[in-house]
Amino acid sequence: MLPNIILNKAVSVNGRIDGFERSLEVELRIYQQAMFDSYLADVHSLKRFSEMVPDDELEQAPPDFQGQEDPRARLVLIDPEGKMDTWDRISKIPSWGKRFALVTKSTPSSYIEELKRYSVECITSGEDKVDMVGALEELYDKFKCRRMLLDVEGSVSGELFKEGLVDEVNLIVYPCLVDDEKGHYLDLTELSDRDAPIKLCLRKYWSEYERHLWLRYSVLKWTPKPGTFGPDDEEKMREVLQSIGSERELFDHTVEIMNFVENIFIATLSTIKDLESESLSPKELMKRVPVLMERAELLNGVVDKELKRIGQLPSKLSIAEKFNIELYELMDPYGREIQDQCKKMGVRLPYM
């Protein structure tokens, strides 16, 4: 299974990712609303963020959680070449708990030894280039990384988009304009061979003192993430849902449920795309509508009943309530996209 990936970038009004002063206070306040448990960065982004932390806020000694699990977000650095040279500072930033580095079999052994001195756990994945799918699977299965905030400046973001691994895009828009020669855009050169742009759907927005703007988008996918439950895994998903008896268990399985629901919509969109390519007459199309309705029935039959039960569980953390909101925000753009695609073909389909 793979975690949800939330691409998070601070940008100027004209889309630059550097060349302006950022606010640690504003970004941390927004990060808290993103409900992530891990921070995934490359060397440039992590260095830039660490420089925003005042020296007097750095920890002189690690906190004592008295035998309890560290509740802070995990830090995951993508660094196959061993370029990070400021671990002494990074290890003292109070925002993060357990720290990881994604490396390869070609990463210098001297750098691996340095990581050990700073209690950074290495995840080796790939020969010369980090195998992101393999690394993300290990982070999910072994270390319970479920929602990862992605902050990168290199080509990694384009690679993850290309693999269909990015689920959300969060933009923190700063009220400024940056000279073209002083600022850079997010590197998405890996997407240069795409025929069409990646579709996004605005989930919510929030302004901070009418200055900074937080925009939260869902990524509309056409292919499912690898290793996730799909329409053919109905019984497995039913077992997962029926096993949930507490808010904590719901939280642990949220990503699996979300991926299952999303994959039903993706399968529906793929079916519509196939039908469209066949250039069928309206009458012939209507004969194929039952195939689409099977998806809706699967969604209602497997998910709805159990979610109603889960929603009635004793609640202290409002996890079930937040889950229902997240689920609706996930489903709504897909439902509208399906309706739009059907409308183009002259087919009326009940709202999913």
Question: What are the DSSP E strand ranges found in the chain?
Answer: 4-12, 38-42, 73-78, 96-103, 120-124, 147-151, 166-174, 200-208, 212-219
Residues 5-44 have pLDDT tens digits of: 999 999 999 988 888 888 888 888 877 777 789 999 999 8
Give residue 274's identity as a one-letter amino acid code: D
Three-state DSSP class for residue 170: strand
Q: How confident is the model at residue 258 (pLDDT cuts 50, 70, 90)?
A: confident
Domain 4-60+69-219: CATH superfamily is Dihydrofolate Reductase, subunit A (3.40.430.10)
Q: Quick: pLDDT tens for 78-129.
A: 999 999 999 999 988 888 889 999 999 999 999 999 999 999 999 999 998 9
Segment 63-76 mean pLDDT: 82
311, 314, 315, 321: CA torsion to nearest 10: 10
Where does the pLDDT of residue 308 fall: very low under 50, low under 70, confident under 90, or very high at 90 and above? Answer: confident
Please say if the pLDDT value at position 153 is more than 70: yes
CB 12 within 8 A of CB 178: yes
Q: Nearest-CA neighbor of 24 among 60, 59, 48?
A: 48
The pair of structure tokens assigned to 324 is 């229902």
User: Global pTM?
Assistant: 0.83
Which whole number is the average pLDDT over 207-213? 79
Q: pLDDT tens, 24-33?
A: 888 888 777 7
pLDDT of amino acid 172: 92
From the list 2, 6, 1, 44, the residue with the least C-alpha distance to 217 is: 6
| Least confidently predicted of 158-162, 203-207, 230-234, 327-331 | 230-234
Beta bridge partners of 149: 6, 39
Minimal CA–CA distance to 152: which of 67, 48, 71, 280? Answer: 48
Domain boundaries, given as residue ranges, for the chain? 4-60+69-219, 231-345
Report the percent of the chain where pLDDT is more than 90.
Answer: 27
